[in-house]
Structure 1
């Protein structure tokens, strides 16, 4: 009986030491991975990396990680030369295969997201445009509301408007509903579904140029394509998926 107790105590102690060593190893690996991701993705801030699954040491021995979550703040989006903040970029990567010399890591599957507030969307919009919540029904379709004075919107798009035309347009407020469309390489497009009639011939095309614009979001691992958007009262969450996504290397 005494021998059994000693065996059990020894097993518990060794198990505790193994768990402690495993957690220390995963913590070190997460820090190293964060530094590598920052360097290879060209990020200005160090991401948070969480390696899921237990035990980690067995996963690393097999060079296969079950799941790796990455979160980055301080990411920028660009639109027409304007830079705006993205509150957070996240990526969940599954079945991550580590290269033979630990210089690369590729996920079989990945999901990514990026969050942008309406305030920051407005900063990325053409001059004079304000981007806001379109209401629950339109938000469910991934739509936002874009508003602004017609003269200011057109001039913001680089259209020279004679004073006589300004008098015709007056202080008319333009209101359109734009749908978020997926682009390529982290780019999404805000495109108005329809435009109000402008009482000046030939200005419809110019108005379209004023309210439609592309937004490029950096910071997602290469291979994740943004393909849909969710809108709520405070902003947009862009979502995407990918296969064979490169985490580092």
Structure 2
């Protein structure tokens, strides 16, 4: 009787294990399918947003390489259900925009972060409707060689030192070769970038009448009022600071419809 009992139980245990394995495999397949659908949906929406941003760049008579869009947050589908997205990153490589004065401002990368984004599913699917970012923040760098060209003074060198923009040059003043150096004040004025050099001094200043006045006049020629380039997404200059490779410019905007092509 004991042997008959064991014979009856073994097949049942094998069937139970087989059912558990089947259910486990099925769950894994369903999970993998959801991941694929989630990533496909995010990729499709990123492409739609990228197309709209490219339209805005062209409408500003600016240019860039193909926009790179990344909808942050996983899973994507749960954000779709809520109609709210924590962050969308938009990168515009090789961006160049006109300033309205005939100059072109080039930035290797205009990096934009849209936060607190609100959008219905249909707006992301079709490209029609509102995709509104509560806040937009962008950053880009204007390199020093470009800035020197815009200032237009030959022999000028620019660099960051102790958090300040410093300039130096060797110039002829009243028949004397002088090594000049000074610190610039950076500010945002009338929506653009203002550069003003002050306290420009010569390390080898000779004792000659009028020499400092001549140096001050040269310092005045180093000033620059640079209008902001034409930017997409209603971005405006918020701040500027010197970095190792150039001036780092921060842009910002609020309540912007990312989906408004040509805005």
TM-score range, shorter chain: 0.7 to 0.9
Offset of residue 189 of structure 1: 1.6
Kept in 2: contact 1:98–1:106 (CA 8 A): yes
Residue in structure 2 matched with residue 155 of structure 1 by the alignment: none
Offset of residue 218 of structure 1: 4.0
Question: Per-residue displacement from partner, 1:16-71 (whole Å, max 9, x unpaired)?
Answer: 11110111121122122111101023342221111111221232333222111111
Gaps of 5+ in 2: 1-15, 203-208
CA RMSD of aligned residues (A): 3.2
Deviates more, 1:26-35 or 1:187-196: 187-196
Equivalent-residue separation in structure 2 for 1:130 and 1:84 (angstroms): 19
Moved over 6 A (4+): 200-205
Kept in 2: contact 1:64–1:96 (CA 8 A): yes
Kept in 2: contact 1:89–1:219 (CA 8 A): no
Equivalent-residue separation in structure 1 for 2:241 and 2:233 (angstroms): 18
Offset of residue 146 of structure 1: 2.8
Confirm whether residue 92 of structure 1 aligns to residue 97 of structure 2. Answer: no
Equivalent of 2:195 in 190, 213, 228: 190
Confirm whether residue 76 of structure 1 aligns to residue 92 of structure 2. Answer: no
Confirm whether residue 177 of structure 1 aligns to residue 183 of structure 2. Answer: yes
Residue in structure 1 matched with residue 19 of structure 2 by the alignment: 3
TM-score by length of 2: 0.71
Q: 1:1-249 maps to which residues of 2 (within 5 A)? A: 1=16, 2-42=18-58, 43-45=62-64, 46-76=66-96, 81-98=102-119, 101=123, 102-128=128-154, 130-135=156-161, 137=162, 140=163, 143-148=164-169, 168=174, 171-172=177-178, 174-185=180-191, 187-195=192-200, 199=210, 207=218, 209-215=220-226, 216-219=228-231, 221-232=233-244, 234-249=245-260
Paired residue secondary structure (2:186)? strand
TM-score by length of 1: 0.75
Paired residue secondary structure (2:199)? coil
Kept in 1: contact 2:182–2:201 (CA 8 A): yes
Count how many residue pairs are aligned between Structure 1 and Structure 2: 227
Equivalent-residue separation in structure 2 for 1:246 and 1:224 (angstroms): 15
Residue in structure 2 matched with residue 158 of structure 1 by the alignment: none
Offset of residue 206 of structure 1: 5.7
